[in-house]
Amino acid sequence: MIIGYAAGAFDLFHVGHLNILRQAKSRCDYLVAGVVSDERLLLTKGRRPVIPESERLDIVSSIGFVDKAVLDFHHDRLRTWEDVGFDVFFKGDDWKGTQGGKELEELFAVVGVKVEYFPYTVHTSSTKLRVALGQLSPPPIRAQRA
């Protein structure tokens, strides 16, 4: 049996979150979704989520693709792996080829965990929702490359 792990804030739950969970479940037999804790989000993103962790955990637990939802509070991914025991770690493809993605792949290779990437849903994101709700300023417009 292949156990997969997909972690996320899952704040302001939207179709991008649903897509990640659906795709993850299609590539494993048992899917564990890690809901990143409020404290960890504050440390990594510098802000609290709109929806508190207990409610986000409840929402994600109710998704049919998810076999189990857990609170993800470890900064160290190997500690998460020790607690959950997954074979595949799923991540959005915005990490693929980045320094962080390469480090994640190297870290998990040591324990035999494969990292798989899924397309990032560009038209919908929690950041865009926060901007629309007036909680964040829009990101700067990037110049198009020739």
* Residue 5: other Cβ atoms inside 10 A: 26
- pLDDT band, very low/low/confident/very high, at 7 (cuts 50, 70, 90): very high
Distance CA 55, CA 53 (A): 5
- pLDDT band, very low/low/confident/very high, at 123 (cuts 50, 70, 90): low
CB neighbour class for 132 (10 Å; exposed up to 12, middle 13-18, buried from 19): exposed
- Does the model's pTM come out above 0.85? no
Residue type, 144: Q
- pLDDT band, very low/low/confident/very high, at 143 (cuts 50, 70, 90): very low
- How much is the pLDDT for 145? 40
Burial of 73-109, coded b for 16+ CB within 10 Å and e otherwise, reads bbeebeebbeebebbbbbbbeebbeeeebeebbebbe
- pLDDT band, very low/low/confident/very high, at 13 (cuts 50, 70, 90): confident
Task: State mean pLDDT over 1-26.
Answer: 91
**C-alpha angle 67-78-58 in degrees, rounded to nearest 5:** 30
- How much is the pLDDT for 144? 45
Burial of 23-47, coded b for 16+ CB within 10 Å and e otherwise, reads bbbeebeebbbbbbbbebbeeeeee
pLDDT tens digit sequence for 91-121: 988 889 999 999 999 999 999 999 999 886 6
Task: State mean pLDDT over 4-17.
Answer: 89
pLDDT surpassing 70 at residue 22: yes
- pLDDT band, very low/low/confident/very high, at 146 (cuts 50, 70, 90): very low
CATH topology of domain 3-132: Rossmann fold (3.40.50)
Q: Which two tokens stand for residue 10?
A: 């899952």
37, 62, 79, 123, 144 from 86: Cα distances, Å: 19, 20, 11, 30, 39
